[in-house]
Structure 1
Amino acid sequence: MPVGKIIKALSGFYYVMDGDQVIQCRGRGVFRKQKVSPLVGDMVDFQAENPTDGYIMEIKERKNELVRPPIANVDQAILVFSAVEPDFSTGLLDRFLVLVESKEIAPVICISKVDLLDTSGLSRIEEYAEHYRKIGYEVVLTSSIEETGITDLMPFISGKTSVFAGQSGVGKSSLLNALDPELNLKTSEISSHLGRGKHTTRHVELISIGDGLIADTPGFSSLEFTELEAVELSDCFPEMRENSSECKFRGCMHVKEPKCAVKEAVSSGAIESYRYDHYLQFLEEIKDRKPRY
């Protein structure tokens, strides 16, 4: 039975890439009974008598999966955040970072629209970029208009399956067009009334760029920690994970416990205070989350 990768899901159909051929498939009814949905990125067994009439027979085991956007088997997440329009938000970026860290997906931070910054604004963004680089994250500053940083992104994309994710209107589609002008993806301006971007990507689809695959995904502006437990949260902050082994108490939550190495690192400036504040905020959200049954 042939094996392929789902590269697009649209209107109940799954488009499976097998070599140079793409076969339009439906999912078997048994998947609905098992409450399993095929995802873009899934490796699947399929049967097809012709390129427009196939069936997915089995979904191979996933190494990871995301719910929003719905995609599986991702090597890395390229998190696109604009410097302005909409304004750069460390709080929202940290939400995305926690999500991908919890899935053990390597993140790359891409700060777009740097061409719109004045000197002081660029200095501020570069300072934030250095904060995240100090933690260990890869950070690339880009401009689709001036094509700044585009060549810096290409080595990250090569040979990998990457998900482009971020808030609506940050310029994901413009960035992909800059990486490969032949894509000609639809873009839109920021809504002046709402102060955020209009959705230009309507579905998840894997796009070939060089020898890599990139998922352009519908933008979204909020994330909920539905699967993450409170005790797991600090492990999703690499600088806290690194310091927590020095805490006096095993299982330290880094809130009120004495001799907490994480809080000491915050006081000394080794951990940025806004990162710790976001940790406390996310911790409260997880604790206040309604239990799932």
Structure 2
Amino acid sequence: MPEGKIVKALSGFYYVLDGNRKVQCRGRGIFRKNKITPLVGDEVVYQAENDLEGYILEVKDRKNELIRPPISNVDQAILVFSALEPEFSPVLLDRFLVLIEANEIEPIICISKMDLLEDKGGKSRLESYIRDYRDIGYHVVLTSALEEESLQPLLPFFQERISVFAGQSGVGKSSLLNALKPELELKTNDISNHLGRGKHTTRHVELIHVGDGLVADTPGFSSLDFTDIEVEELSYCFPEMRKKSADCKFRACTHTAEPKCAVKAAVETGGITEHRYKNYLSFLEEIKDRKPRY
């Protein structure tokens, strides 16, 4: 049986790429029965007599998967956050980073719309956050869809990798992809002045070729739930805490009220930034208050 990768899912159809051939497929009813939803990024076995009437027979094991956006087998996540319009949000960025770290996907932080800072100020505050994330070890790339030179540092990250573009609505994900590959002509839209956030323009998930890699443009969204992360797992999604936690007195230290906590000591000495630690505490309470699942 032939095999391929799902590169697009739309209206109940799955488009499977097999070499240079793209086959439109439906999923077998057994997937619904077994509560399996094929995802963009899945390696699948299919059968098809022509390019418009195929069926997916098997979904291969996934190395990872995301719920929002729904995609699997991702090598890295390019988290796009705008400098302005909407304003850069370290709280929201940390929520994205926690989800990405929990799925063992490499994150790349991409700050878009840097051109807006030249006119509206706020650069020093943003630069402080950029230093913090770089000190942790994250790649941070500063871009503008209007300045082609600023896009060049992004290109090496795409090589032979599957990347997901994700971030809050309106930060310019589609604009960046259009600037990288103009023939895409992805739909973009302006910020809603009333809501102060972007309007959704990407309606489905699709893998597209950029350079020698595949990139997913995904629907934007403005919140994330920690539905699959437990209290004891959260600190491991903060790399700087993960390094320090081995020196805590208690193995199951939550870095809150326990004595001789290496993480709290690092916060006091500046080794861990206060805003990251505050976000950790907030996320921890959110997980504790989460309703149990049965």
TM range (shorter): over 0.9
1:104-154 CA distances to partner (integer Å, 9 max, x unpaired)? 000000000010003852222222111101001000000101224200000
Alignment-derived partner of residue 130 in structure 2: 129
1:141-179 CA distances to partner (integer Å, 9 max, x unpaired)? 001012242000000011100000000000000000111
CA distance in 2, matches of 1:91, 1:282: 10
Residue 238 in structure 1 maps to residue 225 in structure 2: no
3-state SS, counterpart of residue 50 of structure 2 = coil
TM-score (norm 2): 0.98
Alignment-derived partner of residue 16 in structure 2: 16
Alignment of 1:54-69 (within 5 A): 54-69=54-69
1:14-61 CA distances to partner (integer Å, 9 max, x unpaired)? 000000110000000000000000000000000000000000000000
Alignment-derived partner of residue 170 in structure 1: 171
Residue 85 in structure 1 maps to residue 85 in structure 2: yes
CA distance in 1, matches of 2:245, 2:57: 45
Alignment-derived partner of residue 146 in structure 1: 147
Runs of 4+ in 1 over 4 A off after TM superposition: none
Alignment-derived partner of residue 256 in structure 1: 257
TM-score (norm 1): 0.99
CA distance in 2, matches of 1:221, 1:271: 26
Which residue type is aligned with residue 67 of structure 2?
A: V
CA distance in 1, matches of 2:136, 2:64: 23
Alignment-derived partner of residue 207 in structure 1: 208
Deviation at residue 237 of structure 1 after TM alignment: 0.2
CA distance in 1, matches of 2:177, 2:183: 10
CA distance in 2, matches of 1:183, 1:157: 16
3-state SS, counterpart of residue 152 of structure 2 = helix
CA contact (8 A) 1:163 1:215 kept: yes
Deviation at residue 82 of structure 1 after TM alignment: 0.3
Which residue type is aligned with residue 90 of structure 1?
A: P
Q: Larger deviation: 121-130 or 161-170?
A: 121-130
CA distance in 1, matches of 2:59, 2:118: 50
Alignment-derived partner of residue 197 in structure 2: 196
Which residue type is aligned with residue 57 of structure 2?
A: M
CA distance in 1, matches of 2:63, 2:99: 15
Alignment-derived partner of residue 277 in structure 2: 276
CA distance in 2, matches of 1:125, 1:20: 43
1:48-95 CA distances to partner (integer Å, 9 max, x unpaired)? 000000000000000000000000000000000001100000000000
CA distance in 1, matches of 2:125, 2:153: 21
3-state SS, counterpart of residue 191 of structure 2 = coil
Which residue type is aligned with residue 153 of structure 2?
A: D
Which residue type is aligned with residue 95 of structure 1?
A: R
Deviation at residue 251 of structure 1 after TM alignment: 0.9
Q: Larger deviation: 201-210 or 121-130?
A: 121-130
CA distance in 2, matches of 1:147, 1:113: 12
CA contact (8 A) 1:229 1:286 kept: yes
CA distance in 2, matches of 1:250, 1:47: 51
Where do 5+ consecutive residues of structure 1 fail to align?
Answer: none
Residue 5 in structure 1 maps to residue 5 in structure 2: yes
**How many residue pairs are counted as aligned between the two chains?**
293
CA distance in 1, matches of 2:8, 2:179: 22
Deviation at residue 224 of structure 1 after TM alignment: 0.3
CA distance in 2, matches of 1:254, 1:191: 39
CA contact (8 A) 1:141 1:148 kept: no
Where do 5+ consecutive residues of structure 2 fail to align?
Answer: none
Alignment of 1:71-82 (within 5 A): 71-82=71-82
Identity of aligned pairs, percent?
A: 70
CA distance in 2, matches of 1:149, 1:163: 19
3-state SS, counterpart of residue 109 of structure 1 = strand
Q: Larger deviation: 213-222 or 243-252?
A: 243-252
Alignment-derived partner of residue 96 in structure 1: 96
CA distance in 2, matches of 1:183, 1:122: 31
3-state SS, counterpart of residue 149 of structure 1 = helix
